[in-house]
Structure 1
C-alpha cells in the first residue's frame, strides 16, 4: 500500500467511525485533531494548523496552557466531585472571583452549571420567578429577546433564540417569549409592566458578530428599571475578557440584574454560571433549581485558575490591543472580498462582499488556518487571548492566501463560458 493510499485509508477510517458512531447533529467533521499547544493544533497526520477560532471563544489561554494543565491535575488528585449538598473551597473561591470581576457586589450570587445553555436555562427560570406575583399568579407573562439572537439549543434556551429555522423542527416552543428588532425604538414600543425580563447579547456572535446599536444597553437598563423588568445579559461568548473588558456590558457603565457566562471562563473545561445582582439574587429558593455536576470542585478550580491567569498576564488589555491590530491587518490586506470588520477585542466578524464564507473557511483550512463561518457572509475570529505579533503575522499570511484562493476560484468561474442549452 502506498503512502497516499495509507493516508487516505486513515482518513477514511476516522470519518467512517464518526459517521457510524456519532449523532449527525454536527454534520461531517472537518479534521481529526489529536494535540494542541498555544494557538497551534495538529491533526492525525501530523499537520499543524493555526487556531484562530479557539473552540468558538473557549480556549482563552490557548491549548495545553501550563496553568490549565496544573489546575486540572492538582484538583483531580485532590477532589473532583461531592454533589451540591456540600460546599468546596474551589466553588466558593470561583463564586467570589466572578462576583468581583462582574461588579456584582455583596448582594450578588452565583449559580453554577456545566455550559452556556445551562446558564441561560437558569436565567430563564430566574425571569419566570420574577414574573410570578407573591400569590403565585403570572403577573409578568412576557419575556423579550432579540431577533437573530442565540442563547442555546435546549428547549428553554431555544425559545429565547430568535432564529425560526432552528425552532421550527422542535415546535411548539416554551411560550411567553417575544422577539424584537435590535433598536431602542422597538424596545420602547414593546416594554410595559407585564414584561418579566429582557434577554440580550452585547454582541450577537452567532448572527455574524453584530454589536448592539450604540446606546442600546443604556436604554435597555433605563427602560427595564422603569417597568420593573429584569435586564439579563448573555455574556457567554463576550465574557472572560474576550472583548477587551472583563464583560462587554461594563463598557456601557450599567449594572444588569443578571449575566450568564461560560465558554472562556473555563479555558476548555465545561462550566457555566449565572451571576445575579441586587434583588434578583433573592429569587431562587432551595429546591427551585439544581445541577448534579454544577459547581463541582474540579471545574471550579480550573475556571478560577484560568481567570487568575487572564488577570495576572494582562490578557484583558491584550485582547483589546490585539483586536485593534487584527482589524488593521485585515483591512491592510486590501482584498476585494473583505468589506470590513465588526466586533470588539478578540471577537471579530470579518464581513465579506459576497456569500462565500464557507469557501473561505475551507480554503483557510487547506492553508493551515482554523476560522469559522458565522453565516454565509461573515468569518468569525475568536483566537486565544494570549496571541501576539507572531500569531497575528502568521494569521495575516494564511488568511490572505485563503482569500486569494477563493478570489481566484470566483474569477475562474466568471471566465468559464456557460454551455449553451439547445432550444
Structure 2
C-alpha cells in the first residue's frame, strides 16, 4: 500500500492506451501503475454495438430460444457470452469484454482459473453428491477454515489472533452450508427466530411454542438487499421487489443505516433478529460506520436480539480482510455472518457462520438441505478460500483497491456536474454516485458498448466489484473507458 501511496503523489502520467501496460494486462502489478492528468477520451467511439442491425443470426437464435422457453424475469442486453479467462469474457461472435463485475462479485479468482478447474475435474469424478444423510471429508475442512480464519483475523466476536483450541474442546462457532446467499439469509433468520423463542421462554417460564410468544420481530434497514425468497424478500426494502408479492412475513421493522438516535425505538423487547449489510451492495454501496455497528450491537444485547451481518457481497476479502466487520472492535461484531458469492468462485454455495451460543439451539431436524455442503461445493470452497486468504493475495487486493479508489476520485474531480463528490464503499466494493438517477444505467450501457462490463447499484450509482486478482492495467483500462463514457455524457 505504501507503493501506491507514493505513486498517488505528484508523479502523474497521461492517459494510457489499452496496450500500454502489457498484453491484456494479465498479472500486471499495482506498483508503478500510472495515474492520469486528464480524462481519457480514447474510447469515445462504440466498439461493441448492440443495435438491432449488429445482432448476428447466431445471437438471434439464442435470444429467440430464451424468449420462448425461459421465464422473462431478467432484463438482459442482446449479447451471448461463450467463454472467459481471467478478467475477460468473449461472446459467441468473438468480441472481448473486460468483466469488471465478476459475475456480481462472485468470480473472485476470475474466469477459467486453472486451480478451480482442476478441483472441479477431480471431485466431479470421485464424489459429486451424497446428501446430508452421510458425512464427507470436505465440509468439515471448509467449516474449520472459515472459523479459524475468522479467529485469526477477527470477527464474529473473536479478537484478532484468537485460538481455535478452546478449553472445552469446541471451535467457538459453527457453520451451516446452503446453496446460495438467499438461502443463507433464510437460514440465519430461522435460527434467530428459534433463539428468540428460547430466550422468551427462559424469561417467562412458558413453553417455546406458546402462541403468546411475541419475540418474533425482525429489524432491517433501508436500501438493504438480502434475497428474493419470501423471508429474505421481507427484509429487502425495495418496493419494486416487494410489492408484487405482498403480504410478506409480518413483524418486520425498517430503520436507516448509521442512524444511532433511532435504534432504541427501532429495536425493542419483541425483536428477535436484526439483519444488516456492513457495506450495502445492491442498495447503492453504502458503508455502515464502525461506531454505529457498535451501537447496534449494544442495543441488541440490551434486548436479547440476534445480530446478523449479511456479508454475502462484502465479505471474504473484498474489503481487504476476511470480513468487512473484521476492522470493527469486538463489541461491534455480530452473532451470525451469512456468506456466499465468492466462496466457490461461481459454483453455488452459501453458508451461515454463527457463534456457539447461538448454534446450541439448533438440533437434529431443525434445519436442513439436500444439496447444501456437497463434496464438490466444499472442496471448491476450501481451494478458493485457501487462495483468497494468502497474505500476498490479500496485500495485492488492498493495493489494487487503493489504486482503483484513486482513479475513481479523479473522475469525481473531472466530472463534478455529473458525479457525487465522495466515492462510496471500501476495498474492491466501490461505487460512483450520480446526481441524475437516469445516468448510471446509461453509463453501464455505454461502457458495455465499449467492451467493459459494469453494474448499477441502488437508484443512482455505478458499482465496481471486479475479480479480487484483477491487475492494475485492467483497472486502468476500465477507468479510461469509464472516463470516456462520462466525457461523452457530459457533452450530450
**TM-score range normalised by the length of the shorter chain:** over 0.9
Task: Kindly indicate whether residue 419 of structure 2 is the aligned counterpart of residue 338 of structure 1.
Answer: yes
1:202 and 1:235 in contact (8 A); partners too: yes
Residue number among 392, 396, 408 corresponding to 2:479 in the alignment = 396
Aligned to 2:397: 319
Q: State the 1:5 CA deviation.
A: 7.4
Q: Which residue of 189, 192, 195 corresponds with 2:268?
A: 192
1:83 to 121, 131, 153: 131
Shift of 1:27: 2.2
Q: Residue 328 of structure 1 is aligned with which of 406, 426, 430?
A: 406
User: 2:288: which partner in 1?
Assistant: 212
Q: Under a length normalisation based on structure 2, what TM-score does the superposition of the two structures give?
A: 0.80
Report the Cα distance in structure 1 between the residues aligned to 2:78 and 2:183, rounded to whole angstroms. 27
Matches for 1:20-419 after TM superposition, within 5 Å: 20-103=68-151, 106-133=171-198, 134=201, 135-136=207-208, 137=210, 138-182=213-257, 183-254=259-330, 255-312=333-390, 314-333=392-411, 334-336=414-416, 337-339=418-420, 340-355=422-437, 356-409=439-492
- Separation in structure 1 between the aligned mates of residue 387 and residue 235 of structure 2, nearest angstrom: 33
User: Contact 2:59/2:78 (CA < 8 Å) preserved in 1?
Assistant: no
SS at match of 2:224: coil
Instruction: Give the 3-state SS of the residue equivalent to 1:178 in structure 2.
Output: strand
Q: Distance in 2 between matches of 1:213 and 1:308?
A: 29
Higher relative contact order (CA 8 A, sep 6+): 2
Structure 1 residue 63, shift from structure 2 partner: 0.6
Q: How far 1:392 sits from its partner (Å)?
A: 1.4
Residues of 2 paired with 1:202 and 1:72: CA distance? 32
Give a deviation string over 1:170-212, Cα, whole Å, max 9, x none: 1110112111122111112222222111111001111110111
Per the alignment, residue 20 of structure 2 pairs with none
Residue in 2 that maps onto 1:412? none
Distance in 2 of aligned mates of 1:57 and 1:260: 15
Go from structure 1 to structure 2 and tell me whether the alpha carbon gap of 1:197 and 1:26 turns closer, same or farther (over 3 Å shift): same
Q: Which has the higher helix share?
A: 1
Structure 1 segments of 4 or more deviating over 3 A? 4-7
Q: Quote the Cα distance in structure 1 between the aligned partners of 2:303 and 2:375.
A: 39
CA RMSD of superposed structures (Å) = 1.7
User: With structure 1 as the length reference, what TM-score do the two structures score?
Assistant: 0.92
Distance 1:246 1:204, change over 3 A: same
